[in-house]
Amino acid sequence: MPFDNNPTGKLNTKISPLIDGQLPDFIQSDHPVFSRFLKHYYQYLEAGELRLTVNIDNLLLELTAASNVLDVDGNKIVLESGSGSDGKFTVGETITGGTSKAIATVLVDDLSASTPRLFITSQQRFITGETVTGGTSGASGTITRYRANPVQTIQQLLDYADVDNTIYDFLDNFRDEFMNAIPLTLADGVSKRNLIKNIRELYRAKGTSEGHKIFMRMLLGENADVTYPNKYMMRASDGKWASKIIMRVAPLTNIAVAEAVGGTLTGGSSGEKAVVASATSFSEGATAIVEFELNKSSPSDTFAFTDGETVTTTAKDSDVDMSFTVKRIVDIPIVTNSSALYTVDQDIEFDTNTNIGNGLATARINNINTGQVNGIVVDDVGSKYEVGDALTFTTSDSNTKSAEGFVSIIDGSFLLEGTDKASTNENDYILTEVGSRTHIDYFEVALEN
């Protein structure tokens, strides 16, 4: 059965080679022309037609009308290659596709016709638009169309539905069926056959960064970088918070602190242990300081290292013991006396006489509390004030809000004292009348006899 053949671009099951063995001997001997005719006829049926665009220059006669010089057989004389002709293939030579690398043998040359063409051994892998080159003549031409032979078309009819084995011109029909949204023009080097076979994967990747990259390579031949806006989007409370466990120590000897990284610190009195993640050394004044970042999972939950104790570890390279003294770090200040008259961002210097650390710690006012006027002392009573006059206080201090008040009493008054907590007249005043006269009456107290 012809359909049992494996799919291929060539026709392997041919009849033309069998003609000589199938004809009777008397026909081959008495009618050799007929025998040759049958063989060439089947070769023609088995051949593929390859239409080309070629450049062939013929020798012309020096006449007013365009006329060619013909040879004894009536054929046009073709100029040599390099003199204008580069598309004259020879019968029997092998031609090779520049892109598809498909190979076929030239059977008949019909390049002088109005539509130049070659009849070749069947080969369905040629690509329309590619350049074919002759192996012997060196001639070249551009394929405009390939038409398969009738015999192969019948034998491999079902293979035309296979992307790998159909002719190139049929790929446009596959494109119309499976990827009609894809443009006809693709980037150089993109195989239509492979694209049709893998179009499902491209559809599955639609909308993803990989899908966009494939699309750009397929159409433009460029490698695209896809960046999503959410990469630079700020989200509320989306920070990756992390804290470090820091220990500051004073080295007891002149050592290379980098050798402590990866080692285990052991407290001399507390017995606490911790692994050093990183180490930095610096100086504050004349004091040498080593700052260790400890592995979060290494110390205990109580962190039993104590101020002033000696911690030791072993240098990873020199293999010697290194000792340090634990020092406290100013962390959170506690205000016991808030005082007054401070401003925001004002620097505060610690009193070095109290022997706090090395005396080099500094602080800055971060925030101040607001207060209020809770009492007034009149230094100068002034004159011409009346009850109800509005008063405005002025100040040159910053970060303040001007206080306001009004005159409530003039000329003096008597303050009433409430008789008990429920009295409603507490803190009220008895005012003297305008123009009232005051005098003192002296009297004596006489005791009864």
> Which of 278, 328, 282, 321 has its CA nearest to residue 305?
328
Distance CA 27, CA 402 (A): 133
The mean pLDDT value for 42-47 works out to 84
Determine what percent of the chain is predicted with pLDDT higher than 90: 8
What's the pLDDT band for 22 if we cut at 50, 70, 90? Answer: confident
pLDDT in tens, 136-185: 888 888 888 888 777 777 777 777 777 777 777 777 778 777 777 777 77
pLDDT at 60: 54
What's the pLDDT band for 267 if we cut at 50, 70, 90? Answer: very high
What's the pLDDT band for 69 if we cut at 50, 70, 90? Answer: low
- pLDDT over 90 at 68, yes or no: no
Distance CA 117, CA 147 (A): 11
- Token readout for 239 is 């920070």
Q: Residue 141 class from Cβ within 10 Å (0-12 exposed, 13-18 middle, 19+ buried)?
A: buried
255-269, 288-302, 305-319, 435-449: least confident range:
435-449
Architecture of domain 245-327: Beta Barrel (2.40)
> Mean pLDDT across the chain, nearest whole number?
78
> Which of 146, 219, 164, 145 has its CA nearest to residue 188?
219
- Token readout for 333 is 């200040």
Distance CA 340, CA 372 (A): 12
Distance CA 426, CA 126 (A): 116
Query: Computed over its alpha carbons, how large is the radius of gyration of the chain?
Result: 54
pLDDT at 74: 54
- Give 38 or 163, the one with higher predicted confidence: 38
pLDDT at 4: 47
In order, the DSSP letters of 29-69 are HH-HHHHHHHHHHHHHHHEEEEEEE----B-B-SSSS--B-
Q: How far is CA 271 from the centre of its chain?
A: 48
Place of tokens 């570890």: 313
- Give 409 or 77, the one with higher predicted confidence: 409
CB 46 within 8 A of CB 40: no
pLDDT in tens, 396-446: 777 677 788 888 777 666 666 665 555 555 566 666 666 556 666 666 777
pLDDT at 428: 67
pLDDT in tens, 332-369: 778 888 777 788 888 887 766 655 566 677 788 888 87
This prediction's pTM:
0.39
**CA-CA distances (angstroms) from residue 36 to 27, 41, 42, 47, 107?**
11, 8, 10, 16, 15
pLDDT at 85: 62
The mean pLDDT value for 49-69 works out to 66
Q: What residues contact residue 200 under an 8 Å CB cut-off, 6+ apart? A: none
pLDDT in tens, 179-212: 777 777 788 877 778 788 888 888 888 878 888 8
Distance CA 277, CA 282 (A): 17
47-51, 105-109, 216-220, 392-396: least confident range:
392-396
Distance CA 404, CA 165 (A): 99
Measured from the Cβ of residue 65, the count of other Cβ atoms closer than 10 Å reads 5
Count of residues in the chain = 449
pLDDT at 2: 44
What are the boundaries of each domain within the chain?
2-161, 245-327
Q: Residue 88 class from Cβ within 10 Å (0-12 exposed, 13-18 middle, 19+ buried)?
A: buried
22-31, 215-224, 416-425: least confident range:
416-425
64-78, 222-236, 301-315: least confident range:
64-78
- Give 59 or 147, the one with higher predicted confidence: 147
413 - beta bridge partners? 431
Distance CA 223, CA 71 (A): 57
